[in-house]
C-alpha cells in the first residue's frame, strides 16, 4: 500500500541560507506522525513545500502516491491543511467558509451541504455553523479549520502548529479531535509542533532541527529512560 | 494536462462560483466599503465638478457631438475611478489574506493558479460593476444622462477596464511585502495614474500646459480605460483604447500569474511570506 505521504531527500534554501537539507520522512496510511522542532527548525518551510506554496526543486514529495511535481492537482486534492495562522474568513460564517473551501475543491453545492453537516459534526461544531468565525473562541476556530481541511475527504491532514495560542483545554480538544479522526476515519496526520506534551509514547516521531532530521522512530524509543524533553535537548544540543 | 482532466467542467464552474460568492459575501458584509466606494466619486461629481464647471471650458470633444457639462465629461472618469479603487481594494485584501493565511487556502486548491487568480479577478470586477451602475443611476438624477442603450453598451467596456485594473492590483499585490507598504501604492500608483489621465480633463487641455504631461497621460493605461468607457457610454468604440486595455490586461495578468507561480515568481520564495 502506498504511503499517505512520502518525502525523499528534499532540500530547500532561501538564497544562500539552507532551510532544509536532505529531509526524508514517511507517513503511513492511518498513522499519526509528529514533527517536533523548535521555532525556525524548518517545519513551516517543509509544509510550504508539501502544499506547493514553495516549489520543490530537489528530491521528491509524493502524496498518496502522486508526485507533487508531476501531478500537483491529484496530490493537492488529497491533502487537508491546517495552517499555523488563521485561514478562515472572519467576516463569514463557519458554514459559508466551508462552502467556499468545498468549491475550491470543485464540490457542488448539494454535495457540499452534506459534507458540511458531516465535518461540523466531526468537529463538534454543529450548533456553530451559522456563527461568524470572528465570534468563535480560539479552540472552536481551530476545530473549524480542521473541519475545513476535511471537507474534501483528504488522505492526509497536515497540521502546522495547530494548537499555537490555545489554552490547555482547547489544545487538548484539538489534539483529541485529530487522534479521533485517525482512529475513526482512517485519515493520516502529520502534526508539526514544538510542544512535547502533545506527543504520546506510541506516536511516530520525527525530530527536525536546523533544517535536518536528527531522529525518527517511535517516540518512546527516542525518549528512552531520560524522557522526551531531555532526549530532545540532548539531540539538538540545546542547554537544559 | 492530466490534472486538468481530473475535474469535470462542472467542477471548474463550481470553483469559480464559489470564489465569486465569497467575494460578493465579503462585499455585502462590509457595507462601509460599498458606501465609501460610492461616496468617493459622488463627492467628485457633486462638489469638485461643480467647481470646475465654472473654470474649465470644454470644446466639443469626441465622442460628444455637442458641448457638454463638466459633470457629463467627468462621469466616465469617475466610473473608471471606482474600478481603480476597487482593483486596489482587491489587491489590499489579497495582501491582507496573504498575511493572515487565507491566501494560502486559495493557492493550495488543486485547481491551477491561473484559474484561481482569474476567478478572483472576475469576481472582483463583478463587484465593481455593481458599484459603477449604482453610481450611474445616482448621476442620472444629476443630469448625467447618456443614451439609454449606452448603459448596456458600456458593460463590456466596464468588464474589460475592470479586468485590466484588477489585474494590475493583482500584480501589485504580488510585489508588496507588507500591508504597511500599501500606502506607497496609493501615492506612487493610484494618484499619479488618476490625475495624469483624461479622467478629469481632456488630453488636449493637458497638452496646452505641458507636452510632457500630455504624452505621459497618453500612454497611461488608465486614460484608455476612461476613454473606452466614455466612448462605449455614447455607443461608440475607441479602438485604440480597446487595444491598449487588452494589451495591458494581458501583461498585468501574465505578470501576476508569473509572480504567484511557486516555481517562477519572486513572491513565493520570500521566506515566511507565502
Question: What local confidence, expressed as pLDDT, does residue B46 receive?
Answer: 86
Model confidence pLDDT, tens digit, residues A215-229: 999 999 998 888 888
Domains belonging to chain A, first-starting first, are: 1-78+156-240 (3.40.50.300), 89-153 (no CATH)
| pLDDT confidence tier of residue B93, bands split at 50, 70 and 90 | confident
User: Contact B102/A89, CB-based, under 8 Å?
Assistant: yes
pLDDT (average), residues B160-183 = 84
pLDDT (average), residues A195-206 = 91
Distance CA B158, CA B242 (A): 11
Q: Could you tell me which of A51, A83, A97, A46 has the C-alpha nearest to residue A208?
A: A46
| pLDDT confidence tier of residue B2, bands split at 50, 70 and 90 | very low
User: Contact A53/B106, CB-based, under 8 Å?
Assistant: no
- Burial B16-37, CB ≥16 within 10 A → b, else e: bebbbbbbebbbebeeebeeeb
User: Contact A103/B19, CB-based, under 8 Å?
Assistant: yes
Q: Is B266 on the interface with A (CB under 8 A)?
A: no
Per cent of chain B over pLDDT 70 is: 88
Q: Is B95 on the interface with A (CB under 8 A)?
A: no
pLDDT (average), residues A142-169 = 90
Model confidence pLDDT, tens digit, residues A176-198: 889 988 888 889 999 999 988 89
pLDDT (average), residues B67-91 = 89
Read off the pTM: 0.82
Which is it for strands A212-218 and A204-209: parallel, antiparallel or unpaired? antiparallel
Q: Is the pLDDT of residue B28 over 50?
A: yes
| pLDDT confidence tier of residue B274, bands split at 50, 70 and 90 | very low
Compute the mean pLDDT over every residue in chain B, rounded to the nearest whole number.
Answer: 85
Q: Is B152 on the interface with A (CB under 8 A)?
A: no
pLDDT (average), residues A32-42 = 91
Q: Is B17 on the interface with A (CB under 8 A)?
A: yes
Peptide bond into B63 cis (omega under 30): yes
User: Contact A52/B262, CB-based, under 8 Å?
Assistant: yes
Contact yes or no for B63/B236 (Cβ under 8 A) = yes
Contact yes or no for B219/B96 (Cβ under 8 A) = no
User: Contact B105/A104, CB-based, under 8 Å?
Assistant: yes
Q: Is B147 on the interface with A (CB under 8 A)?
A: no
Alpha helices in B46-187 (DSSP H): 49-55, 70-100, 102-107, 113-140, 150-175, 182-185
Question: What local confidence, expressed as pLDDT, does residue B108 receive?
Answer: 86
Q: Is A52 on the interface with B (CB under 8 A)?
A: yes
User: How close A202 comes to chain B (CA, Å)?
Assistant: 31
| pLDDT confidence tier of residue B273, bands split at 50, 70 and 90 | very low
Contacts of A54 in chain B (CB under 8 A): 262, 268-269, 274
Residues sharing a CB contact under 8 Å with residue B89, sequence separation 6 or more, in sequence order: B33, B37, B169
Instruction: Look at the alpha carbons of A223, A225, A226, A231 in this order and tell me if their dihedral is positive or negative.
Output: negative
- Burial A42-62, CB ≥16 within 10 A → b, else e: bbbbbbbbbbbbbbbeebebb
Model confidence pLDDT, tens digit, residues A113-146: 999 999 999 888 999 999 999 999 988 998 999 9
Question: What local confidence, expressed as pLDDT, does residue A47 receive?
Answer: 92
Written as nine digits, the cell of A203 is 506516536
Among A57, A84, A104, the residue with its CB nearest the CB of B109 is A104
Q: Could you tell me which of A161, A172, A221, A173 has the C-alpha nearest to residue A197?
A: A172
| A9 C-beta neighbours (distance < 10 Å), count | 11
pLDDT (average), residues B222-244 = 96
Q: Is B51 on the interface with A (CB under 8 A)?
A: no
Distance CA B100, CA B91 (A): 14
Q: Is A79 on the interface with B (CB under 8 A)?
A: yes
Among A14, A77, A88, the residue with its CB nearest the CB of B110 is A77
Residue that is written with C-alpha cell 467647481 in the block? B51
Amino acid at each position: 500500500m502506498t504511503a499517505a505521504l512520502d518525502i525523499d531527500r528534499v532540500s530547500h534554501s532561501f538564497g544562500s541560507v539552507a532551510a532544509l537539507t536532505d529531509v526524508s520522512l514517511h507517513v503511513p496510511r492511518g498513522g499519526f506522525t509528529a514533527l517536533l522542532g523548535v521555532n525556525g527548525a524548518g517545519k513551516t518551510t517543509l509544509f510550504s513545500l508539501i502544499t506547493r506554496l514553495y516549489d520543490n526543486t530537489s528530491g521528491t514529495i509524493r502524496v498518496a502516491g502522486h508526485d507533487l511535481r508531476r501531478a500537483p492537482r491529484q496530490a493537492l486534492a488529497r491533502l487537508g491543511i491546517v495552517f499555523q495562522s488563521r485561514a478562515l474568513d472572519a467576516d463569514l460564517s463557519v458554514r459559508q467558509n466551508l462552502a467556499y473551501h468545498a468549491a475550491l475543491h470543485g464540490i457542488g453545492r448539494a454535495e457540499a451541504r452534506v459534507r458540511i453537516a458531516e465535518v461540523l459534526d466531526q468537529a463538534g461544531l454543529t450548533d456553530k455553523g451559522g456563527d461568524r468565525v470572528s465570534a468563535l473562541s480560539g479552540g472552536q476556530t481551530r476545530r473549524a479549520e480542521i473541519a475545513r481541511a476535511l471537507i474534501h475527504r483528504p488522505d492526509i491532514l497536515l497540521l502546522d502548529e495547530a494548537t499555537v495560542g490555545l489554552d490547555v483545554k482547547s489544545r487538548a480538544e484539538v489534539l483529541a479531535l485529530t487522534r479521533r479522526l485517525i482512529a475513526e476515519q482512517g485519515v493520516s496526520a502529520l502534526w508539526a509542533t514544538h510542544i512535547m506534551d502533545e506527543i504520546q509514547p506510541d506516536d511516530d516521531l520525527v525530530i527536525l532541527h536546523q533544517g535536518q532530521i536528527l531522529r525518527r522512530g517511535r517516540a518512546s524509543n527516542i525518549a528512552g529512560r531520560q524522557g522526551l524533553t531531555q532526549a530532545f535537548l540532548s539531540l539538538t544540543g540545546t542547554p537544559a | 494536462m492530466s490534472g486538468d482532466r481530473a475535474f469535470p467542467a462542472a467542477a471548474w464552474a463550481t470553483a469559480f462560483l464559489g470564489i465569486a460568492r465569497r467575494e460578493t459575501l465579503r462585499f455585502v458584509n462590509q457595507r462601509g466599503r460599498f458606501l465609501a466606494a460610492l461616496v468617493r466619486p459622488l463627492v467628485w461629481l457633486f462638489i469638485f465638478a461643480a467647481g470646475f464647471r465654472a473654470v474649465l471650458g470644454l470644446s466639443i470633444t469626441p465622442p460628444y457631438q455637442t458641448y457638454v457639462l463638466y459633470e457629463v465629461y467627468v462621469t466616465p472618469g469617475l466610473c473608471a475611478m471606482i474600478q481603480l479603487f476597487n482593483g486596489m481594494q482587491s489587491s489590499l485584501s489579497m495582501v491582507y489574506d496573504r498575511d493572515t493565511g487565507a491566501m494560502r487556502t486559495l493557492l493550495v486548491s488543486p485547481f491551477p493558479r491561473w484559474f484561481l487568480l482569474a476567478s478572483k479577478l472576475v469576481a472582483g470586477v463583478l463587484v465593481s460593476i455593481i458599484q459603477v451602475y449604482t453610481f450611474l443611476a445616482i448621476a442620472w438624477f444629476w443630469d448625467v444622462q447618456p443614451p439609454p442603450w449606452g448603459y448596456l453598451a458600456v458593460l463590456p467596456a466596464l468588464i474589460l477596464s475592470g479586468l485590466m485594473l484588477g489585474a494590475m492590483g493583482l500584480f501589485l499585490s504580488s510585489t508588496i511585502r507588507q500591508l504597511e507598504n500599501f500606502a506607497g501604492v496609493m501615492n506612487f500608483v493610484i494618484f499619479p495614474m488618476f490625475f495624469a489621465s483624461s479622467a478629469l480633463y481632456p488630453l488636449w487641455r493637458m497638452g496646452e500646459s505641458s507636452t510632457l504631461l500630455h504624452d505621459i497621460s497618453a500612454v497611461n493605461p488608465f486614460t484608455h480605460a476612461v476613454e473606452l468607457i466614455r466612448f462605449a457610454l455614447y455607443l461608440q468604440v475607441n479602438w485604440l483604447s480597446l487595444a491598449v486595455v487588452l494589451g495591458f490586461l494581458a501583461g498585468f495578468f501574465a505578470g501576476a500569474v508569473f509572480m504567484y507561480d511557486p516555481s517562477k515568481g519572486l513572491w513565493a520564495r520570500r521566506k515566511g511570506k507565502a
